[in-house]
Chains A and B, each alone.
Chain A
Amino acid sequence: MIGTGIKRGTAELAVLSVLERGPLHGYEMARRIEQQTKGTLRFTLAALYPMLYRMEQRGWIRGAWEISDSGRKRRCYRLTPAGKKKLSPLRKEWAELFGALKRLTKVSHA
């Protein structure tokens, strides 16, 4: 079973990575993450927003209301300088972890 810390870590990395390419509102963010991970990572509303608010509280992202072309009012999130700074070591940590797990599972199957 994957622990809460690991799940939260991967989810935060996914959000920061997708926001690196530009501002997005919650629904679009969830849709992009699902598409880009081919459905491996899926965010329901209940999982997404508490995390976005927590990340906003930490100063990694910032939300602001905007009106879309269709006239719908949405809250768009942007990466802050602190978020950009956080992304690089986070990527490194996860690359190391997945590399280690890959090596481990290869050894186990040998």
Chain B
Amino acid sequence: MPDWQRLVRRRLSGLTLNAAERDEVQAELATHLEESCEVFRAEGLPEYEAVQRTLSQVADWKDLQRKIDSARIGKDTMTNRVTQLWLPGLLTFALSMGLLELVQKFGPRPIILNLDQGTPVLMFYTSWLLILPLAGALGAYLSKRAGGSVRMVLASSIFPVLPFAVVFLIAIPVGLVIGHNLAHHIVTAAFFTMGLGWVLAPGATLFAGGLLVHFLFSRRSGFHGVTTS
């Protein structure tokens, strides 16, 4: 028979309850599964089938974990969003901006690419880009610890570039439409160069950090098979 206590502890390791409450929930659910499997066995099912039918009671352990967290703590969706997205996202934003400030003051000079004479230049703070995955990983870790879904975890990691993305996607196109005196070729060039320098490049490095944390956590809480004695 599987070690149900161990199985539930592994599957629900990300519960954000305090240690005593988490142990209590895990023990209660493990007892339920244990009893359920015993009844299937008593009804004459072979062990493998009894285990499979017992396990089929939970289709998505991560979803169950979120629901239990929400029900036990009494947190509403808004509170969840604060702890799973806004807080980790803002911390990632503050950290990445702080790092940029430090790199600008004390770091090496940026790589400057002048794509075309007379158009805005593209500046890459390579040392900043190299350490940004750490900020992305921190955001992802905090979101994951708060029980965030994959979407929340990855959004928290790329949070610092989202305000820039909004500015470039809204402000610059609007500027192009209403600013009759603007040289359109310069604004269009600015859209691409600044988008690349402030959104795409840092976004990719932040995302890499977030993705790494996501995979590490997924491997830790993943299903490694049912152990039978």
A44 touches B57 (CB 8 A): yes
Chain A residue at smallest Cβ distance from B55: A45
A94 within 8 A of B: no
28 contacts between A and B (CB under 8 A): A26-B28, A26-B32, A27-B35, A27-B36, A45-B32, A45-B57, A45-B58, A45-B64, A46-B57, A46-B58, A46-B59, A46-B60, A46-B64, A46-B67, A49-B25, A49-B28, A49-B71, A50-B64, A50-B67, A50-B70, A53-B72, A54-B71, A57-B72, A72-B31, A72-B35, A73-B31, A74-B28, A75-B31
A101 within 8 A of B: no
**Interface SS of B by simple majority:** helix
**B-contacting residues, A31-76, CB 8 Å:** 44-46, 49-51, 53-54, 57, 65, 72-75
Residues of A within 8 A of B (CB): 25-27, 44-46, 49-51, 53-54, 57, 65, 72-75
Interface size classification for chain B: 20 to 34
Distance in angstroms from A13 CB to nearest chain B CB is 18
Chain B residue at smallest Cβ distance from A63: B28
Bound Cα distance from A107 to B210, whole angstroms? 58
